[in-house]
Amino acid sequence: MNMPGLSAAHEKLIAALNPQLRPLALRGTIRSYRKNSVIINEGEIGESLFVLLEGKVKIYSNDADGREITYNVVEAGDYFAEMWLDGGPRSASVMTLEPCVCSIVSRTGLREHLAEEPEFALDLVAQVIRRARAATETARNMALLDVYGRVIATLESHKGPAKPDEPVILTQITHQNIASRVGASREMVSRLLKDLEKGGYIELGVKRITLLKKLPARW
């Protein structure tokens, strides 16, 4: 792959994308971000789509008191910030969870890509639907489940519940990560996890939780 103006490292990152995303990423401007950098602020007007070439970001909101809810985590090989297509303000903030490299595609670049690759429109619509469904699920859980129920739903949403002799290992997950996903305090989440560990349902490690068996619906 020979792409003028790109470093060898960036060429390698783009080459690792699925074939459908490579042409889109090539239309963008490459930018690197440090860990814990806020890329997008909720409420601002934006006209760029981000293709994540390297790293991991979280999509979240917080209130005036600093309470936070995490809607989604996006990993390299995917794209985000497509919700500006309706002309409205950004619906959530985005922060890097580790050093990241993005290709930032402008409105003009996206329009040109859709004109040349019209089938990408279907992928874009599917992406918006997936994100809307995830947001609906989050809202439903917040409204209908108690904190314990939301914790269980979060733990078992990654790889499903554990089965006999088939534990599920969740890595790079902390008590604060879970608290942000379920809209509760870290202290409350820690108490629930400790109780589950005492009951033999999970095993806690450093940024790791092992599900040993299906978690009880109520505690």
Q: What is the pLDDT of residue 208?
A: 93
Higher pLDDT, 87 or 152: 152
Q: Is the pLDDT of residue 135 over 90?
A: no
Phi, psi of 33 (to 5 degrees): -130, 145
Quote the number of domains for the chain: 2
Q: Is the pLDDT of residue 1 over 50?
A: no
Statement to judge: residues 94 and 139 lie in one domain: yes
169 belongs to a structural domain: yes
Q: What is the pLDDT of residue 98?
A: 94
216 belongs to a structural domain: no
119 closest CA partner among 30, 23, 25, 3: 23
Statement to judge: residues 110 and 159 lie in one domain: no
171 closest CA partner among 137, 211, 114: 211
Statement to judge: residues 135 and 161 lie in one domain: no
Q: What is the pLDDT of residue 3?
A: 53
**Identity at 47, one-letter amino acid code:** E
Rounded percentage of the chain residues whose pLDDT exceeds 70: 96
**Identity at 134, one-letter amino acid code:** A
Domain assignment of residue 186, given as a range = 147-211
Contact (Cβ atoms closer than 8 angstroms) between residue 215 and residue 154: no
Give the helix ranges, DSSP H, for 36-185: 107-116, 120-144, 147-157, 175-182
Statement to judge: residues 34 and 101 lie in one domain: yes
Give the helix ranges, DSSP H, for the chain: 8-15, 22-26, 107-116, 120-144, 147-157, 175-182, 186-198
Q: Please identify, among 88, 123, 144, the residue that sits at the C-terminal boundary of a domain.
A: 144
Place of tokens 């990423």: 25
Q: Please identify, among 91, 116, 144, the residue that sits at the C-terminal boundary of a domain.
A: 144
Statement to judge: residues 165 and 138 lie in one domain: no
Higher pLDDT, 172 or 52: 52
Statement to judge: residues 127 and 154 lie in one domain: no
pLDDT 10s digits, 154-171: 899 878 899 888 999 999
Statement to judge: residues 87 and 113 lie in one domain: yes
How large is the average pLDDT for residues 32-39? Answer: 96
Q: How confident is the model at residue 8 (pLDDT cuts 50, 70, 90)?
A: confident
Q: Please identify, among 98, 124, 144, the residue that sits at the C-terminal boundary of a domain.
A: 144
Statement to judge: residues 19 and 84 lie in one domain: yes
Statement to judge: residues 50 and 125 lie in one domain: yes
For residue 121, the domain's CATH number is: 2.60.120.10
pLDDT 10s digits, 88-124: 888 889 999 999 999 999 999 999 999 999 999 999 9
For residue 170, the domain's CATH number is: 1.10.10.10
Q: Is the pLDDT of residue 63 over 80?
A: no
How large is the average pLDDT for residues 55-80? Answer: 86
Q: What is the mean pLDDT of the chain?
A: 89
How large is the average pLDDT for residues 125-132? Answer: 87
Statement to judge: residues 122 and 39 lie in one domain: yes
